[in-house]
């Protein structure tokens, strides 16, 4: 196996020189036999201990496959007396690596439009698709989110070698969905061609009101954003969807549509409407795109911290029935453990739910449409 020092003074000594300043050393393979050489390693030493070769993960470097133990989480390994930086894979709370080295670019070159994407779950969705090769439109509503959306777009573009464009369009305005599509077209049209491969209707108003205190204005706003806006956006996107069934549309719904959670008249009601429309659109758009809904249960968005006491107490009853809601000391963060104690079980992470949305958008998911996909840790047991 060839190990090349990335700090040579002569270009001849460094044919693979990188522009990255983040790593002082790199693992490079000069011969095609590097993978086989790695297989003969008896033991790798890392900052976290010793790892014997076995079920390994692969990294690709300039076309060469390199085998590494799957559970290496250190930022560097040692081969004999040489330090080799491999980067530190980021682990989500479920122990799955989020490292770009092991993330396949399954959406490479596709365009994903995501509403409500400047922060929280929407930003997690944008990150999920960008990290897998998709160009993304980061839609957001107001000037207050300008800086946040621009920073996210800049970050995703730099980290994942894609194009991310922030577009402000307040979807409470009936004219905004068409304006959003027109703006996306101006950015991504090539030689007069413009195609929307993935559309995620995520923007929503969440509220909790007992029926006796129902506010009509808030009810109308919730309907306008949660129901009317997705319909108008799909109408505007229709001419630009693929014509070969390869398009993917996902409407973000909620487990509250079936749980009967108190104080959720407007929110659960509007999410029930989006599930009904999902089935209609699955038929109407069958030759262009699959249309599915994803129903998250409680998510760690920060909203649970401000939940009124009554629905918070009610959640404890539901979480007791959810298999994956059990807290995991030593795995979950302290904030997650605290929240789990307050609502009777841990919520899903943003990345966990974004992963379910991503599954619905895979090319391999082309035989699935009109479905409601649960992303609630087993929330179907609540019914």
Please indicate whether residue 140 is annotated as part of the active site. Answer: no
Across the range 89-103, mean pLDDT stands at 48
Respond yes or no: is residue 253 known to be catalytic: yes
User: In whole angstroms, what is the distance from residue 115 CA to residue 203 CA?
Assistant: 5
The active-site residue, picked from 51, 97, 110, 267, is 267
Catalytic hit among 131, 145, 253, 295: 253
pLDDT for position 192: 85
pLDDT of residue 312: 80
1 falls within a domain = no
Query: Predicted confidence band at 172 (pLDDT cuts at 50, 70, 90)?
Result: very high
Q: Report how many domains make up the chain.
A: 2
Residue at 91 is within a domain: no
Torsion angle defined by CA atoms of residues 57, 62, 64 and 69, in that order, rounded to the nearest 10 degrees: -20
Q: In the numeric block, which tokens belong to residue 364?
A: 């391999």
Q: How far apart are CA 292 and CA 145, in angstroms?
A: 28
Query: In the numeric block, which tokens belong to residue 226?
Result: 């949660």
Q: Which pLDDT score is estimated for 9?
A: 39
3-state SS assignment for residue 320: coil
| pLDDT value of position 67 | 53
CATH number, domain containing residue 204:
3.40.50.720
Q: Is 317 part of a structural domain of the chain?
A: yes
pLDDT band at 168 (very low <50, low <70, confident <90, very high): very high
Q: Catalytic pick from 145, 254, 266, 295?
A: 254
Kindly tell me if the per-residue pLDDT of 76 is higher than 70.
no
The b-or-e profile of 11-40 (16+ CB within 10 A means b, else e) is: eeebeeeeeeeeeebbbbbeeeebbeebee
Determine contact, residues 135/190, Cβ cutoff 8 Å.
no
- Domain boundary (85, 112, 131) is at 85
3-state secondary structure 216-263: HHHHHHHHHHHHHHHHHHHHHHHHHCCCCCCEEEEEECCCHHHHCCCC
Asked about 254 being catalytic, the answer comes back as: yes
18: phi then psi, degrees, rounded to nearest 5: -105, 155
Q: Which residues are within 8 A (CB) of 70 and not within 5 positions of it... i.e. 6 or more apart? A: 55, 56, 57
78 and 109 assigned to the same domain: no
Query: Could you tell me if 76 and 200 lie in one domain?
Result: no
Q: Which of 233, 189, 225 is nearest to 207 (CA)?
A: 225
The model's pLDDT over 241-299, given as tens digits with 9 standing for 90+, comes to 999 999 999 999 999 999 888 899 999 999 999 999 999 999 999 999 999 999 999 88
Do 213 and 351 fall within a single domain? yes
Residue 255 lies in a domain: yes
């Amino acid at each position: 196996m060839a190990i090349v020092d990335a700090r040579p003074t002569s270009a001849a000594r460094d044919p693979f020189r990188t522009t990255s300043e983040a790593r002082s050393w790199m693992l490079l393979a000069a011969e095609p036999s590097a993978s086989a050489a790695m297989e003969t390693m008896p033991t790798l030493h890392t900052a976290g201990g010793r790892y014997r070769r076995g079920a390994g993960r692969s990294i690709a470097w300039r076309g060469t496959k390199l085998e590494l133990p799957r559970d290496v989480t250190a930022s560097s390994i040692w081969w004999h007396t040489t330090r080799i930086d491999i980067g530190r894979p980021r682990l989500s709370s479920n122990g799955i690596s989020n490292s770009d080295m092991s993330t396949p670019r399954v959406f490479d070159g596709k365009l994903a439009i995501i509403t409500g994407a400047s922060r929280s779950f929407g930003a997690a969705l944008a990150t999920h698709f960008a990290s897998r090769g998709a160009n993304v439109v980061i839609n957001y509503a107001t000037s207050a989110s300008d800086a946040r959306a621009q920073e996210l777009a800049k970050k995703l573009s730099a980290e994942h070698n894609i194009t991310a464009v922030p577009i402000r369009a307040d979807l409470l305005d009936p004219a905004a969905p068409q304006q959003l599509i027109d703006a996306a077209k101006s950015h991504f049209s090539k030689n007069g061609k413009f195609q929307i491969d993935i559309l995620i209707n995520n923007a929503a108003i969440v509220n909790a009101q007992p029926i006796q205190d129902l506010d009509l204005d808030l009810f109308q706003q919730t309907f306008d954003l949660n129901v009317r806006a997705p319909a108008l956006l799909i109408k505007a996107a229709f001419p630009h969807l693929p014509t070969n069934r390869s398009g993917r549309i996902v409407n973000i719904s909620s487990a509250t549509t079936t749980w009967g959670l108190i104080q959720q008249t407007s929110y659960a009601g509007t999410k029930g409407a989006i599930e009904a429309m999902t089935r209609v659109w699955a038929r109407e758009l069958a030759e262009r795109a699959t249309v599915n809904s994803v129903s998250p249960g409680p998510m760690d968005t920060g909203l649970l911290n401000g939940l009124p006491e009554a629905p918070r107490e009610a959640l404890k009853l539901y979480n007791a029935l959810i298999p994956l809601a059990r807290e995991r000391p030593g795995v979950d963060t302290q904030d997650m453990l605290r929240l789990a104690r307050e609502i009777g079980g841990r919520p899903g992470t943003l990345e966990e739910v974004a992963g379910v949305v991503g599954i619905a958008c895979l090319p391999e998911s082309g035989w699935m449409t009109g479905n409601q996909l649960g992303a609630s840790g087993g929330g179907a047991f609540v019914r």
